[in-house]
Amino acid sequence: MSSNKASKRLNYRSHFVILYAIESHQPWATSGVFELLSFGAWGLLAGMPLGRSANVVFRVFRMESERRSTPTLG
């Protein structure tokens, strides 16, 4: 099997697992850890530059901290 075929299969499987977890409402799919791990997997598979990756990770951390600090009316 060529390297390109193996990469495509890994990409497809990763995509399937991530989307299945989200669509089937798995409780662990809503955690910040899952979000970061799935982002990391896509970053490695897609070859995302390090600067862009760091920017997205910092944005996720900022959104998480804002979500926790927002008061709820209930």
pLDDT digits (tens, 9 = 90+) for 45-68: 777 676 777 777 788 778 777 777
73 pLDDT tier (thresholds 50, 70, 90): low
Please indicate, yes or no, if residue 57 is contained in any of the structural domains. yes
Structural domain including 45 reads 3-69
Please indicate, yes or no, if residue 25 is contained in any of the structural domains. yes
**Domains in the chain, number:** 1
Question: Can you give the pLDDT at residue 69?
Answer: 65
Residue 40 or 28, more confident: 28
> Tokens 């862009």 identify what position?
52
Please indicate, yes or no, if residue 74 is contained in any of the structural domains. no
Please indicate, yes or no, if residue 65 is contained in any of the structural domains. yes
Cβ atoms of residues 60 and 42 within 8 Å: no
C-alpha pair distances (Å), 6 with each of 16, 21, 33, 48: 15, 23, 26, 19
Reported pTM: 0.54
Mean pLDDT of 24-39: 83
Q: What is the DSSP string of 2-51?
A: -HHHHHHHHHHHHHHHHHHHHHTT-GGGGSHHHHHHHHHHHHHHHT--HH
Mean pLDDT of 26-48: 78
